[in-house]
Amino acid sequence: MNNTGKIDDLPRSQITPCVMCGQSLMHDGALSFYRMRIDFLLVDVGAIERARIKMGQIKPGSALAICHDERFAVGAWRDEALVCLSCARRYPLVDVLDACQHTEEVSCVRS
């Protein structure tokens, strides 16, 4: 994960109300808000099983550590949401996930 990269600007045309409360992103007077980009991934159980077979009978947690050469997770969906500062402080991430539309399927499958 790269936390040092440039953050994309957000043009006015992409400003939407807060996904949680439906109000303006600055309704509480805050001069900041969150743009949450979310990728939902599913563990590739087959890759973990193949790693376990290669290494013999080891615990599943250990298989995760040796699974670095294969696909570990498969993308299920991607979404982006704007959240006002008040809601970001009030709601857990799982509630924001539930409010998202999950409109873009993610393809992480290697060929």
pLDDT of 108 strictly over 60: no
Q: Which residue in 41, 18, 35 sits closest to 80, CA to CA?
A: 35
Q: Which residue in 29, 24, 39 sits closest to 83, CA to CA?
A: 24
| Distance from C-alpha of 78 to C-alpha of 68, rounded to nearest angstrom | 23
Burial of 84 from C-beta contacts in 10 A (0-12 / 13-18 / 19+)? buried
How confident is the model over 90-105, as pLDDT tens digits?
988 878 877 876 544 4
What tokens were used for 31? 């001069």
CA distances from 23 to 41, 53, 79, 84 (A): 30, 52, 19, 8
pTM over 0.75: no
Stretch 75-97: mean pLDDT, rounded?
A: 85
Predicted confidence at residue 32, as pLDDT, reads 92
- Residue 70: pLDDT band (50, 70, 90) is low
Predicted confidence at residue 60, as pLDDT, reads 58
Instruction: Report the sign of the C-alpha dihedral through residues 22, 28, 33, 38, in that order.
Output: negative
How confident is the model over 13-67, as pLDDT tens digits?
988 999 899 999 999 899 999 988 888 778 777 777 777 777 666 665 665 555 5
